[in-house]
Structure 1
Amino acid sequence: MSVNEVKLKKATTPLTILGNGPATSRTFCIGDEDHTLGNALRHILIRQQDVDFAGYSVPHPSEPFVHIRVQTSSETAAAALHQSCHTLSQQCQLVLEQLERLVPATKEDRIRIEQALLEDAEEEDEDEMEE
């Protein structure tokens, strides 16, 4: 690691539900995510008819998580978040399919990127084992 390289902390859990109020009002803490996922989920959540409020925050740039606040009128906040995650996944898949169809080289690039990410993850695991 170089002098200027910053290695962010890893989240200890992928998802935590904060607080213990009514099931229609929850704050979810999603690990190893930032504004990218937070804003996308907030945008999809507020378009759901049953959602009264949706917002997100990143408590601090050096912390490895995003808080997503959901308040609904009838269904549970967890169900609304689950539906939003599913919708976002479908939208991403649709964009990827269209991009790969229009630009065939994109598929080859995606495969190379996935392989590089796997190699990086393996190197990080090896580094952690050495420490």
Structure 2
Amino acid sequence: MLNSKKMMDKHLKKVLQENEDLIIESINFEAVIECMLETEILSLEDQEELEQNDDKANKVKKFLRMIERKGSKCFEYFLDALVRTDNTALENVLRKNEKVPSFPFGNESNKISNIENVESSCQTFIMHNEDHTLGNALRYVVMKNPKVEFCGYGVPHPFDNKINFRIQTKGDSAVQVLAEGFSNLNSLCKIVLDKFEDSVQKYKRSQAE
């Protein structure tokens, strides 16, 4: 059984390969590489490897295989570089296709199970392979939603690798509120990650001076 990282990498490879011709045609290659070198997600050695090809198509193909090897974080920096080089059309196409579909775990259940009714205002969701880390963070975000009357979670047993997450709304769909909670939590995490990485880069630059 493939784990989640392997599933994401496999899906990422599929997205890049399916859009390879569009990327070759649309990308401002030199500008994108320059942006990614600034973030240090690509190294000077990577740049030298890419420069070994004179043909743009071959350079881009090698670049895409490089992203596949480096994984989803490199892909996110690639999307950011497309925006910074005024190629939001291509970024939108890739962004639309990047979402990984739900995948099975060892017991063949989904990541979130026990979804009784998508319209119900009160539900308990069983989240597999999760613990207090997600439970606390998600509860904090969901409780800020004015549609929510109650939100809480529990770990059934210390040896059970899952949490029970309960949402009671004031009438809205609990499934929709949960989806909004995940989206908001993801945005918060991205803000924290971006600030952290920016601080790391500033520190590195200050040490180099």
Please list, as runs of the form range in 1=range in 2, the aligned pairs for 1:10-89 lying within 5 A after superposition.
12-17=109-114, 23-89=120-186
Partners of 1:98 and 1:67 in 2: CA distance: 32
Partners of 2:171 and 2:200 in 1: CA distance: 43
Residue identity in the other structure for 2:156: P
SS of the aligned residue for 1:84 comes to helix
Q: TM-score, normalised by structure 1?
A: 0.67
- The one-character-per-residue Cα deviations of 1:27-62 (angstroms, maximum 9, x if unpaired) are 000110000101111111111000000000011111
CA-atom RMSD, angstroms?
2.3
Q: TM-score, normalised by structure 2?
A: 0.43
Deviation at 1:13, TM superposition (A): 3.2
Paired positions, count:
97
Mark the runs of 5 or more structure 2 residues left unpaired by the alignment: 1-105, 204-209
Residue 104 (structure 1) aligned with residue 201 (structure 2): yes
Amino-acid identity (%): 33
Deviation at 1:96, TM superposition (A): 0.4
Higher alpha-carbon Rg = 2
SS of the aligned residue for 1:66 comes to strand
Mark the runs of 5 or more structure 1 residues left unpaired by the alignment: 1-9, 107-131
User: Larger helix proportion, structure 1 or 2?
Assistant: 2
